[in-house]
Amino acid sequence: MGAFGGGLGGNGEVCGAVVGALGVLGLRFGRGREEEKEDSKMNSCAKEVLQKFREIVKNHGGISCREITGVDWKDRDQARAFYKSEKITECRSIVGDTARMVGELLERETLTP
Q: How many domains does the chain have?
A: 1
Range of the domain at 78: 2-111
Would you give per-residue pLDDT tens digits along the chain (113 residues)?
678 888 888 888 899 999 999 999 988 888 777 777 777 788 999 999 999 999 999 999 999 999 999 999 999 999 999 999 999 999 999 999 999 999 999 999 887 66
Asked whether the CA dihedral 58, 111, 41, 95 is positive or negative, the reply is positive
CA distances (Å), origin 63, targets 38, 60, 89, 97: 26, 8, 17, 14
82 within 8 A of 66, measured Cβ to Cβ? no
What's the whole-model pTM score? 0.87
5 within 8 A of 16, measured Cβ to Cβ? yes
